[in-house]
Chains A and B, each alone.
Chain A
Amino acid sequence: NAGVTQTPKFRVLKTGQSMTLLCAQDMNHEYMYWYRQDPGMGLRLIHYSVGEGTTAKGEVPDGYNVSRLKKQNFLLGLESAAPSQTSVYFCASSSPAGDGTDTQYFGPGTRLTVL
């Protein structure tokens, strides 16, 4: 099993450009998440999905959109990139335990720089 994979690993954008980050998992997990990691701030939840065709906002959703057209894939889009979106982006997935004890499995991250 590959687990959780993310594409690309690195990307540099100019302000105003758009891009899509792809997350794929092969563990048949229902739940998927996108986080951003910034120095001194831990990880913050951007959007999440509890099943194919469903998405919901997390703590810091502004400037991002997501789609979950297939159970194994979760896409994160930036329509008009801003320097404030320079960060490391992590995708995660989990199988719901129904009681908040789920273990999340993380991808290796995408380092995005917006100039």
Chain B
Amino acid sequence: GNSVTQMEGPVTLSEEAFLTINCTYTATGYPSLFWYVQYPGEGLQLLLKATKADDKGSNKGFEATYRKETTSFHLEKGSVQVSDSAVYFCALSGRYAGGTSYGKLTFGQGTILTVHP
């Protein structure tokens, strides 16, 4: 079955530091890959996504590249801000030749990011 593994957290950084959160996956078919973010007390919201190999998703200074050869989708940001403090989830949605996954998502365990001034 499908699975997603994220780096262990929590991650604590100073403002303007470089961020990497690792994500690797196992999937059959041709998955789409997502990063969702959960700010304190809120539901999840889409941060970025990539739908095929070598695609790069980007949003709000965050980037992630779909690497099929390493089955990875690592999240990066060059300079984090205090407002980036949140929980980050990597997820995948399977796609199959001749079928559909109905958009069902498989999530990683989440990585807590705290950014200090």
Residues of chain A at the chain B interface (Cβ within 8 Å): 4, 31, 33, 40-45, 48, 50, 56, 58, 90, 92, 94, 96-109
Q: Are A96 and B51 in contact (CB under 8 A)?
A: no
Instruction: Give the interface of B toward A (CB within 8 A).
Output: 4, 30-32, 34, 36, 41-46, 49, 51, 89, 93-95, 100-105, 107-110
Contact for A104 among B30, B31, B100, B103, CB less than 8 A? B103
* CB pair B107 A43 closer than 8 Å: yes
Choose one: A4, A33, A99, A109; the contact of B51 (CB below 8 Å).
Answer: A99
Chain A residue with minimal CB distance to B51? A101
Find B102's partner among A4, A48, A109 (CB 8 Å cutoff). A48
Most buried by B among A4, A58, A106: A106
Cβ A100 vs Cβ B103 within 8 A: yes
B44 and chain A: residue at smallest CB distance: A106
B49 touching A103, Cβ below 8 Å: yes
Contact of B107 among A42, A56, A99, A101 (CB under 8 A): A42
Contacts of B107 in A (CB 8 A): 42-44
Of all chain A residues, the one with the shortest Cβ separation from B94 is A100
* B43/A90 in contact, CB under 8 A: yes
Check B32 against A101 for contact (C-beta < 8 Å).
yes
Q: List 30 A-B contacts (CB under 8 A).
A: A31-B103, A33-B105, A42-B109, A42-B110, A43-B89, A43-B105, A45-B104, A48-B102, A48-B104, A50-B102, A92-B43, A97-B103, A99-B51, A99-B95, A100-B32, A100-B51, A100-B94, A100-B95, A100-B100, A100-B101, A101-B95, A102-B103, A103-B34, A104-B103, A104-B105, A106-B36, A106-B45, A108-B42, A109-B42, A109-B43
How far is it, in angstroms, between the C-alpha of A99 and the C-alpha of B102 when the chains are bound? 8
Given known A-B contacts A4-B43, A42-B110, A43-B89, A101 and B102 have beta carbons under 8 A apart: no
Q: Which residues of B contact A96 (CB under 8 A)?
A: 100, 102-103
